[in-house]
């Protein structure tokens, strides 16, 4: 199938397919005599897998590394579990950061409602002068 059809089948844009090809997510596709790339169902499945991993929180570099391990053979759930654990750890850290930011913002909002807004200029001050 041509690139447009592969993109539609995978639910991504043509630019995404090209980007994945450049980054090494996809092996270089065969070409027709006309120069058009020919993508297989396996390429579409690989794009879908890439998107699924990214939706879980994997970076593209992590996806590429996981795909390489899979392609080399011998990848097992026991041997690859660490990748998922690393993503969970990163997500937990982001959640903690967001909770901290929320607490600080709620505190600032309460102060603002009490007339001590951190965003307001001190009385008589003219910012920028």
d(CA 89, CA 57): 10
Total-model pTM: 0.77
3-state secondary structure 13-69: CHHHHHHHHHHCCCCCCEECCCCCEECCHHHHHHHHHHHHHHHHCCCHHHHHHHHHH
Q: Average pLDDT, whole number, for the chain?
A: 92
Alpha carbon separation from 26 to 19, 35, 53, 68, 85 (Å, rounded): 9, 18, 15, 11, 25
pLDDT of residue 127: 53
> pLDDT tens across 95-117, in order?
999 999 999 999 999 999 999 98
> pLDDT tens across 76-100, in order?
999 899 999 999 999 999 999 999 9
pLDDT of residue 128: 53
Residue 4 in 3-state DSSP?
helix
What angle (nearest 5°) sits at the alpha carbon of residue 25, between those of residues 34 and 31?
A: 10
Query: Among 15-24, 31-40, 82-91, which is the least confidently predicted range?
Result: 31-40
């Amino acid at each position: 199938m041509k690139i447009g059809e592969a993109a539609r089948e995978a639910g991504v844009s043509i630019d995404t397919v090209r980007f994945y090809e450049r980054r090494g997510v996809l092996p270089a596709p065969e070409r027709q005599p006309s120069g058009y790339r020919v993508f297989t169902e396996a390429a579409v499945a690989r794009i879908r897998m890439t998107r699924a991993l990214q939706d879980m929180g994997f970076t593209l570099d992590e996806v590429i590394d996981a795909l390489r391990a899979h392609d080399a053979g011998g990848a097992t759930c026991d041997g690859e579990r660490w990748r998922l654990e690393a993503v969970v750890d990163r997500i937990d850290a982001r959640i903690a950061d967001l909770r901290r930011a929320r607490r600080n913002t709620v505190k600032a909002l309460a102060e603002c409602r009490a007339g001590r807004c951190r965003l307001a200029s001190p009385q008589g001050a003219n910012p920028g002068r």
